[in-house]
């Protein structure tokens, strides 16, 4: 696959580092972990929900952190002594630690998180400030200009 060099753009732009890094990573083969599986859903005009399947994890073993447009969800299973004495014939429930990162758009905030039936739900809200929202500008018709008429003056007579 063709590789694009963004170094000239780095020299002539300011503040677009994250954009160029994302463009660089698009060409790379997908190396993101697939565990745990998750859904991202739109629940309203400005609300979203991330649902992650974290079966076997307790609230104490999960941590959620939002910092600089990145939402990070970590899970680390604690070792219990009773499990060490058990001999597994087949282990299908994952016990491995994970870290999943989500890029958040501007003005997206984490509202709440809950764990129910092995699913971690993270509710997000896009809260756009009033100054950035589009606003309607009323068009006023000036009555004085609407009633103006153009008066024509007769052209001066030409003398031959």
SS (H, E, C) 34-60: CCCCEEEEECCCCEEEEEEECCCCCHH
Q: Would you kindly state where each structural domain of the chain is located, as residue ranges?
A: 33-127
Residue 114 predicted with pLDDT over 90: yes
What is the model's pTM?
0.61
Residue 27 predicted with pLDDT over 70: no
User: What share of the chain has pLDDT > 90, as a percent?
Assistant: 23
Task: Tell me how far the alpha carbon of residue 85 is from its chain's centroid.
Answer: 44
Instruction: Name the token pair of 96.
Output: 């491995």
Residue 33 predicted with pLDDT over 80: no
Give the model confidence (pLDDT) of 129-155 as tens digits.
888 778 888 888 776 655 666 676 777
Determine the pLDDT at residue 119.
93
> What number does CATH give the domain 33-127?
2.60.40.790
- Helix, coil or strand: residue 13: coil
């Amino acid at each position: 696959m063709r590789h694009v060099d963004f170094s000239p753009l780095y020299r002539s732009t300011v503040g677009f580092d994250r954009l160029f890094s994302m463009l660089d990573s698009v060409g790379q083969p997908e190396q993101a972990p697939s565990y745990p599986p998750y859904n991202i859903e739109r629940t309203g005009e400005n609300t979203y929900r991330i649902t992650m399947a974290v079966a076997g994890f307790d609230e104490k073993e999960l941590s959620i952190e939002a910092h600089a447009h990145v939402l990070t969800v970590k899970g680390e299973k604690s070792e219990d002594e009773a499990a060490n004495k058990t001999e597994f014939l087949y282990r299908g429930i994952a016990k491995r630690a994970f870290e999943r990162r989500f890029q958040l758009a501007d003005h997206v905030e984490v509202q709440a998180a809950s764990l129910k039936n092995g699913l971690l739900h993270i509710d997000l809200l896009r809260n756009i400030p009033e100054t950035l929202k589009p606003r309607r500008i009323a068009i006023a018709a000036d009555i004085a200009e609407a009633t103006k008429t153009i008066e024509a003056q007769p052209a001066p007579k030409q003398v031959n």
